[in-house]
Amino acid sequence: MTSAEPLVYYPAYCFHLSPTINKWCPLRAADIQGLDTRPGFEGDNVFFFLNHPIRWVRVVGVVVAIDEFYGRRNYTIDDSTGACIECSLDVPKPIDRRQQNGAGVQPTVVPPNPAPDPHSDIDVGMVVEVKGSTRLFRDEKQIKINKLQRTRSTAQEVQFWNKIRDFRNDVLSRPWVLEKREVRRCKKQHMADADEEERKKKKRKNGDGTNSVVQIRESRAKGSDERSKPSKDAVTRTEAKDSYIAGQYEALGL
């Protein structure tokens, strides 16, 4: 009996060929909690199912808890798969009433009224669909909500479960495989793009340096011109002196 071949994790410059990276992946909460992390991708919030890179997910479940924090609200979603997933939503920050009442030490301009909360109707016990990006928050998987909406009927919920099943069978049931020539082509294009970006950076840097030199030269030339010009007071004094001397000469008959 042969052991399974090890998974090949392709570089990020190959991700555009992935069937999952730019797709709303319909997953169960247990699947999201089970996504793997890989060194080098932490800052990009990219996780892996087998070797499929996943960033955007969809989940449907019951809201079992809502926690309010300053500037955000967390919904805990339970889809009956044995795991819950926390979904975080940015919400308008409350206005500091001290500014309006003049109780602050230094009066400040009162900000305009914040936008109304578009999800104030979502409550515990409702079935909702969440679309968002995966991330780690305090070492726990979390979804940063891009879209949140109620699931209006059982039929919609069943339809979503069918999407999960089909996506799992058609995509996630087998590893993502690329031919070597495709990887080489992606690497070549990536290196070409990197070289082009480096040339642009150098060009911008050299351009800024040239502009600085030109500005310095123009400033020096302007200062030199200003120093070479006699002041208005000096011209006036010279004219007065010439007039005085001319008057003396006229008095002497010269």
pLDDT at 212: 60
Q: Could you tell me if 131 and 197 lie in one domain?
A: no
Nearest of 84, 24, 78, 14 to residue 55 by alpha carbon: 24
Q: In this structure, is residue 57 part of a structural domain? A: yes
Beta strand 25-26 with 140-150: parallel, antiparallel or unpaired?
unpaired
Cβ pair 33, 64 in contact under 8 A: no
Residue 2: both structure tokens together: 């042969």
Q: Give tens-digit pLDDT for 171-193.
A: 999 999 999 999 999 999 999 99
Assess whether 45 and 142 both reside in one domain: yes
| Statement to judge: residues 51 and 125 lie in one domain | yes
Q: Which domain holds residue 73?
A: 12-92+117-178
- Confidence at 103, pLDDT banded by 50, 70, 90: low
pLDDT band at residue 28 using 50, 70 and 90 as cut-offs = very high
